[in-house]
């Protein structure tokens, strides 16, 4: 009866294997994976419901990218987080999930320029189509002509001076930001023609064009009123443009801030503009 013997041996071997602690733990992990998988499928169905509801509410194109909502989701999860997964990894996992759910909502086109490939690829995972452009201006033109949903540009500076051109694009606003996953530094801004939405905490960006001789006085005025100046750039021999920001907690508060800016009365030619509003998770929260 060699055949029977062999089959008993195999059975005993299998039972022993099934009793090994590692085997039992791995079976538990598989069960958790199944549950996560089921929830991801269920979440996709709900995202489908969201799209249908949005279509009912609006005849025009639906807004797929919702950075303020993403921010609130992440903040809520960070608050309830515990265990050995780092907050950075938690954010990174949810960015991956959010990218996946953006991609199932329809064709979502991203354009970007500058040396920000890595951060763009990390933020908007492999499911989303991203096209790199030679210049920031060509990104803004694409956006203005509805050839893409969002444009991502390097954080404003004297060198990355796309922000001085924004006055030519009245329908484009900054609506989001991309952070370095490790340092938490804001490395790029997201621009779109969609409506500005407010999260529970936001950074509001403004530009002012001002006569050169008033530059010092106006800068002091902004600083005294709690605004932080990011960059100043000479436009003509007689005028400067200043980019500055402040933290705000609501749309109402932003209206108040704009009233403060408008209260500066020492320059008749001043032109101030709300460039956009974006939320970003504080470094302190990421680093615990």
**Residues interacting with a second copy, by CB under 8 A?**
21-22, 25-26, 28-30, 32-37, 39-50, 53-54, 57, 69, 73, 76-77, 80-86, 88-90, 92-94, 96-97, 100, 103-104, 118, 121-122, 125-127, 181-182
C-alpha separations of 211 from 37, 233, 241, 269 in Å: 59, 12, 9, 7
Minimum CB separation from a second copy for residue 10, in Å?
Answer: 13
Residue environment code for 18-28, b if the CB has 16+ CB neighbours within 10 A, otherwise e = eeeeeeeeeee
| Contacts of residue 232, Cβ cutoff 8 Å, sequence gap at least 6 | 215, 219, 240, 241, 242, 243
Minimum CB separation from a second copy for residue 96, in Å?
Answer: 4
Minimum CB separation from a second copy for residue 119, in Å?
Answer: 10
Minimum CB separation from a second copy for residue 170, in Å?
Answer: 29
Nearest CB to a second copy, comparing residues 92 and 211:
92
C-alpha separations of 44 from 97, 106, 124, 126, 200 in Å: 10, 13, 18, 18, 26
Minimum CB separation from a second copy for residue 91, in Å?
Answer: 10
Q: Do 215 and 232 touch, CB atoms closer than 8 A?
A: yes
Nearest CB to a second copy, comparing residues 204 and 279:
279
Residue-wise DSSP of 204-220: EEEEEEEEGGGHHHHHH
Q: Do 216 and 236 touch, CB atoms closer than 8 A?
A: no
Rg of the chain, C-alpha, whole Å: 25
Minimum CB separation from a second copy for residue 49, in Å?
Answer: 5
Nearest CB to a second copy, comparing residues 37 and 165:
37
Q: Do 138 and 113 touch, CB atoms closer than 8 A?
A: yes
Nearest CB to a second copy, comparing residues 47 and 274:
47
Dist CA 16 CA 222 (whole Å)? 74
Nearest CB to a second copy, comparing residues 20 and 171:
20
Nearest CB to a second copy, comparing residues 77 and 260:
77
Nearest CB to a second copy, comparing residues 62 and 270:
62
User: What phi-psi label fits residue 267: left (phi over 0), alpha (psi between -120 and 50 degrees) or beta?
Assistant: beta
Among candidate residues 287, 186, 286, 170, the one with its CA nearest the CA of residue 230: 186
Minimum CB separation from a second copy for residue 226, in Å?
Answer: 28
C-alpha separations of 10 from 26, 63, 258 in Å: 21, 59, 78
Minimum CB separation from a second copy for residue 223, in Å?
Answer: 36
Nearest CB to a second copy, comparing residues 26 and 217:
26
């Amino acid at each position: 009866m060699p055949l029977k013997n062999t089959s008993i041996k195999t059975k005993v071997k299998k039972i022993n294997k099934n009793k090994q602690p590692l085997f039992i733990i791995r079976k538990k992990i598989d069960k958790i994976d199944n549950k996560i998988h089921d929830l991801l499928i269920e979440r996709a169905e709900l995202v489908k419901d969201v799209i249908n509801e949005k279509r009912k509410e609006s005849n025009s194109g639906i807004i797929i990218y919702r950075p303020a909502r993403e921010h609130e989701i992440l903040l809520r999860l960070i608050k309830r987080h515990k265990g050995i997964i780092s907050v950075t990894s938690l954010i990174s996992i949810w960015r991956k999930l959010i990218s996946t759910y953006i991609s199932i909502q329809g064709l979502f086109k991203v354009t970007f320029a500058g040396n920000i490939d890595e951060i763009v690829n990390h933020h908007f995972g492999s499911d989303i189509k991203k096209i790199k452009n030679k210049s920031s201006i060509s990104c803004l033109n694409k956006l203005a002509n509805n050839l893409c949903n969002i444009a991502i540009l390097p954080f404003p500076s004297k060198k990355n001076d796309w922000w001085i051109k924004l006055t030519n694009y009245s329908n484009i606003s900054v609506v989001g930001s991309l952070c370095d996953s490790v340092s938490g530094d804001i490395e790029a801004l997201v621009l779109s023609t969609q409506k500005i939405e407010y999260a529970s905490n936001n950074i509001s960006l403004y530009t002012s064009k001002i006569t050169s001789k008033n530059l010092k006085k106006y800068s002091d005025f902004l600083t005294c009123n709690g605004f932080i100046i990011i960059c100043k750039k000479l436009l003509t021999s007689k005028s400067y443009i200043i980019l500055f920001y402040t933290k705000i907690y609501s749309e109402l508060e932003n209206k108040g801030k704009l009233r403060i800016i408008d209260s500066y009365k020492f320059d008749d030619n001043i032109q101030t503009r709300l460039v956009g509003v974006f939320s970003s998770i504080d470094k302190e929260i990421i680093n615990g």
